[in-house]
Chains A and B, each alone.
Chain A
Amino acid sequence: GAVVSQHPSWVICKSGTSVKIECRSLDFQATTMFWYRQFPKQSLMLMATSNEGSKATYEQGVEKDKFLINHASLTLSTLTVTSAHPEDSSFYICSARGGREGETQYFGPGTRLLVL
């Protein structure tokens, strides 16, 4: 159990385009989903926390208008990188947690974004 999928696993796009990444909990209802970014050889950086049906909470320094998060259902959250630039190239990882706040977060396999 506790499987989280992400799609796509790889994205290469031109500068200025928008990219949407989907995160799905396959066998449990994810009340809360988290979006992380990780640059090579660096630690995970939490970008935002989203609860189903409400607006995401963004970490300091993360532009909410650039990284749009939609958590429309208990099994799906999407991250849209708007007007992507080369500096947005990174490894984006989502994680999902069930209904109880102390529950374990399970990670999706991640999405590699390369902006040319």
Chain B
Amino acid sequence: GQNIDQPTEMTATEGAIVQINCTYQTSGFNGLFWYQQHAGEAPTFLSYNVLDGLEEKGRFSSFLSRSKGYSYLLLKELQMKDSASYLCAVMDSNYQLIWGAGTKLIIKP
């Protein structure tokens, strides 16, 4: 079957760095997406990786290793507004998005 694993919840301190991991097993691979979802709101797109390596976008970076079926989202200089759920999703061979359950990130002052 298809499976996306990410931690259920993480806690970090304002100003620090946090890494949210995602491992996947899917039938085919056409890219991995990270979305941010604040409580009560719809997800917003953060990043897309289809080749191995690190993609940096401001305070957020996303890394992919296709051979290991692994990705992480790195958040630097954490701000209170970064408190949200972070969803990892993989596009399979049928171009269907397979969603992880999300990681709830709690930022403490």
Give the dominant DSSP class at B's interface: loop
Cα-based distance from A2 to B102 in the complex (angstroms): 23
Cα-based distance from A57 to B95 in the complex (angstroms): 14
Nearest to A93 among chain B residues (CB) is: B42
Cα-based distance from A44 to B41 in the complex (angstroms): 12
For chain B, give the interface size range. 20 to 34
- Beta-carbon contact of B31 and A107 below 8 Å: no
**Total of A-B residue pairs, C-beta within 8 Å:** 40
Taking CB atoms, residues of chain A closer than 8 Å to B99 are: 43-44, 46
- Beta-carbon contact of A108 and B42 below 8 Å: yes
A102: interface (CB < 8 Å): yes
- Beta-carbon contact of B42 and A104 below 8 Å: no
- Beta-carbon contact of A104 and B45 below 8 Å: yes
For chain A, give the interface size range. 10 to 19
Taking CB atoms, residues of chain A closer than 8 Å to B48 are: 104
Other than A44-B87, A104-B33, A110-B42, give 17 A-B pairs with Cβ distance below 8 A: A43-B99, A43-B100, A43-B101, A46-B99, A91-B40, A93-B42, A101-B30, A102-B30, A102-B91, A102-B95, A104-B45, A105-B33, A107-B35, A107-B42, A107-B44, A108-B42, A109-B41
- Give chain B's interface residues, CB within 8 Å of chain A: 30-31, 33, 35, 40-45, 48, 50, 87, 91, 95-97, 99-102
- Give chain A's interface residues, CB within 8 Å of chain B: 2, 34, 43-44, 46, 49, 91, 93, 101-102, 104-110
